[in-house]
Amino acid sequence: MEEDAYDREKQFQRQRQQQLNLNEFKERQQALQQLEQDIGDVNQIFADLARIVHDQGDMVDSIEANVEHAQIHVEQVSIVPMSSVRRTPKQ
């Protein structure tokens, strides 16, 4: 009888350890799934950031082109002789 009780206790301990191992495995699996999802989210953030940077680069190029055009116009105006500029009489 003592041997039966010992075997039952040993069996109970094995089952308990297996349950603990299973629980730990499930926790790790959930953590890995969360990590996978987080990595996907980070990937999406970087893709969005790359798109934004690209779009802003186009805007910067457009601004730069407008500044260059403005500079050309200013230079052209400064070339016009002052005598050809009409003066409006003061009233």
Structure-derived torsion over alpha carbons of residues 15, 17, 18, 22, reported in degrees to the nearest 10: 140
Prediction pTM value: 0.54
pLDDT value of residue 85: 58
* Mean pLDDT value across residues 38-60: 94
* Alpha carbon distance 61, 70 (integer Å): 14
* Mean pLDDT value across residues 79-84: 62
Confidence band for 82, pLDDT divided at 50, 70 and 90: low
DSSP 86: P
